[in-house]
Amino acid sequence: MTELADAPAHTVRIEVELGRALQARELRVAARWLGEDRALVLRDDGALPDYDIAGDGIFVGELQGEPLLLLPLEITAPSAAPWRGVVRLFGPEDSLRFGLSADGRLERSLARPAGALADPELPRLVAGYGWAALVLLYVFLLAFGPRRAR
């Protein structure tokens, strides 16, 4: 049984991408952490240098506490309906990403947007299929290469 007196801390990083077009100074997050109400302000000022670039339209903040399995959240952003829900955590560090859907609603994102790529899954898929092509080429060389042909 995991008792919490000697349990390690749990960090949950929340990132909301609004894009540069939407003007906002900060976003507010309300959370429940093991029976306590928590308020968090997400900023885009580069205050978390490892995770945030000032002015890139991605608002970042961190919650910390005792290990948590299910995190109830409410995220409020300007010109968008608030996002409410419960998120399953895995610990000891979780990153939760949100973005704006095409119709302007906040929604959970799969991965942090990577540069100009529209689909955040794309880098992983490109790497995977690139590897597949490499393996296929090698196997074809083995099968059709000069030594085999002899």
Partner 1 sequence: MRGARPALRGAALSAVVYALAAVIFSFPAVLAGPERIVGRNFDALGTVWVLQAAPRLLAGGLDPLTGWPAGAPLGRLDSWTLLPAGALFSWMDPARLHGALAIVGLAVSAFAAERAAVGLGARSPWSLIAGFCFAFSGLSATALLEGHSYLLLDPWLPLLGWAWWRCSRPEARPAHGLAAGLGFAGALFTSGYLGVVGALYVVVVGAAALWRGQLSARGALAALAVALPAAVLYLILAEGGPGYAAPGEWVDDVDRLAAGSAGSLQWGPPTAGIDLRDHSASVFLPFTALSLVGVAPRVLGRLPGWRALVAAGLLFALLSLGPLWWLGPLGAFTAPTAALAELPGAGAVRFPARLAWGSALCFGLVAARVATALAEGGAWRAAPLGIALLVDVFVVGGMPARLGQFPGGAPSLYAGRGAVLDLAPESLGDLDEVAALSTSLGCAFQASHGRPLPGFCPYRRDDRRFGEQRALLSALEGSPAGLLEALRARQISTVVLWADLFEAPDRRRLEDALLIVDPNPVASRSHGLYLRAYQVPPAVQP
The number of residues that bind partner 1 (CB under 8 A) is 43
Single out the residue of 58, 60, 68, 106 in contact with partner 1 (rule: CB under 8 A): 68
Asked if 140 touches partner 1 (CB under 8 A), the answer is: yes
Q: How far is the CB of 54 from partner 1 (least distance, A)?
A: 26
Amino acid at 143: A
Please report, as residue ranges, which positions from 1 to 60 form the binding site for partner 1 (by CB under 8 A).
1-4, 10, 32, 34-35
Does residue 88 belong to the site contacting partner 1 (CB under 8 A)? yes
Q: Say how far apart CA 72 and CA 76 lie, in whole Å.
A: 14
Nearer Cβ to partner 1 (25/108): 108
Residues that bind partner 1 (CB under 8 A): 1-4, 10, 32, 34-35, 66-70, 72, 84-86, 88-91, 108, 110-111, 120-121, 124-125, 127-129, 131-132, 135-136, 138-140, 142-144, 147-148
